[in-house]
Structure 1
Amino acid sequence: MSSSSSDVLLPVDSSIKPPVFLHLGDTEPLSGVCVLDVTLPFGKTVNVEEISFKNHYTASVSVRLLMMGPPSQWVTAVRDLPLMENPHTEGGSQDYCCIHRTQMQVDPDHVISVRLILKQPSSTWRSFSLEDIRILPHKQQDPEKEVSDWLSDLTLADQHTDLEGLPPPQSVSSSLQQMFALTEVMMQSNETTASIGRFHVDGCYDINLLSLL
């Protein structure tokens, strides 16, 4: 049992059926056992984070969950959790409480219905129950990405880069070299002291270069 964190979670829409008090026989007095059924949204299952409530003179509570199958079956998630320090005294009789999923014997996932079994063995109290019952859903947080994950994403993005329509790298390199050579020639053409002889190759001149001088 722990303090409730319902202020940070939105409860699941649910309805509570009228309490059923068990008798020992047709003419016997009450047995000190009460059953509360909490109905969850029809056609949906719930992963339970916690069950919160306010106690009203209930000594202990057990939690049974109807979980989706196949086949659907009732399982005991919590058995006889004490809510009062002593059934014959008022300690804990009106406390706000919650039962977290970590306190349950099974993972409370894919739950269809919740049954609370209340017990009060003391005859000191005329009635006992639980009030303001709320079923709070479990939320799984997205795991943080590791640095390796980001690097992997970048690698995949590079692998899927569309290179269709681009010229071959060898052709681009050759064109750049020719452009650099032509630029140098243009710059030298503006210098009056430029020597034509520097452009000869194997004793010959390139007619294209001579036309630029």
Structure 2
Amino acid sequence: MEQNVSGSLNLFVHNSKEVEFTVRGPRFVTFDLEDDHRIRPGSCILDIIFPAPTKVGEIIFRNYYTAWVSILIKGPPSQQPAPVGKQGPSRAVDEEVSPWQLAVPRKVIMPNPHYESGSHDLISISATESSLDWTNLLGMRILLQQPSPVWRTFHIEQISVLKDLPRRLANSNNEESMSEKLSSQTLTALRKSNAPEREGPPPKDFVGLVGYEVQGFLLL
């Protein structure tokens, strides 16, 4: 099944550029688990296909009884032309010359698969959680798994793909550097304004006062 999708979580994505994509699936798959035959999780695959190589910063979706997800990504074939008659990113995604690569393994989105907690949460997965780069993608494959027999139906819905990182992550480095700069400047100013006129090291209670003032200021 294919479905054209543009983002739907306007409340959460209005500050970031949304990426156009097509959804294929979900389709159910089975696995042989040699390590533990007692656990055979229900599994399905959902493919997100982009019309052209795309930078992705974040993917957001609403959970529906999925216990954990893994994300695989696919980029353009490295230095290899597409076969004759199979041009274009949407077809290249299906070629073995550009394999799927595991980017985010087994992200738990239900703390306990047998209970309701997390079953309808809004989930955000950013490029910073990936072991691979998300700057030139043709597709993303989401593997959904639910080992509990309690929930016969599980999927994800309301999918949005955003080009940029979440604001809290994109600004984290700047915020950290500004915080360090503010702390340093404040400490210097307090030392100068409260420094005793006499020569020699300041008294112990002065050092404690400066530390308290800086901490209190940063917490505001």
> Into which bin does the TM-score normalised by the smaller protein fall?
0.5 to 0.7
Q: Which amino acid aligns with 1:133?
A: I
Contact 2:17–2:164 under 8 Å retained in 1 = no
Question: Which residue of structure 1 aligns with residue 45 of structure 2?
Answer: 35
Residues 100-111 of structure 1 mapped to structure 2, 5 A cutoff: 100-111=126-137
Q: Hey, what's the Cα distance between the residues in 2 that align with 1:24 and 1:59?
A: 16
- How far off its partner does 1:7 sit? 2.8
For CA contacts below 8 A with separation 6 or more, give which structure has more relative contact order. Answer: 2
Residue 75, structure 1, aligned to residue 101, structure 2? yes
The runs of 5 or more residues in structure 1 that have no matched partner are 142-213
Q: How far off is 1:81 after superposition? A: 0.1
Query: Whole-Å Cα distance in 1 between the matches of residues 130 and 107 of structure 2?
Result: 10
- Equivalent residue number for residue 122 of structure 1: 148
Query: Who is 1:12 aligned against?
Result: 19
Alignment: residue pair count = 131
TM-score when scaled to structure 2?
0.55
Q: Please say which structure displays the higher CA radius of gyration.
A: 1
Q: What is aligned with 2:67?
A: 59
Q: Report if aligned partners of 2:110, 2:117 keep a CA contact under 8 Å in 1.
A: yes
2:75 pairs with 1:49: no
Task: Find the aligned partners of 2:123 and 2:26 in 1 and give their Cα distance.
Answer: 19
- Rounded to whole Å, the distance in 1 between the matches of 2:31 and 2:68 is 19
The aligned residue for residue 131 of structure 1 is: 157
- Structure 2 segments unaligned to the other structure (5+ residues): 1-10, 33-39, 79-96, 171-220
> What's the % identity of the aligned pairs?
34
Please tell me whether the aligned partners of residues 77 and 108 of structure 1 are also in contact (alpha carbons under 8 angstroms): no
TM-score w.r.t. length of structure 1: 0.57
> Distance in 2 between the 1:76 and 1:6 partners?
26
Q: How many Å apart are 1:21 and its aligned residue?
A: 0.8
Q: Which digits, 9 at most, give the CA deviation of each residue in 1:116-165, with x for residues without a partner?
A: 000000000011000011111138x9xxxxxxxxxxxxxxxxxxxxxxxx
Q: CA deviation at 1:23?
A: 3.7
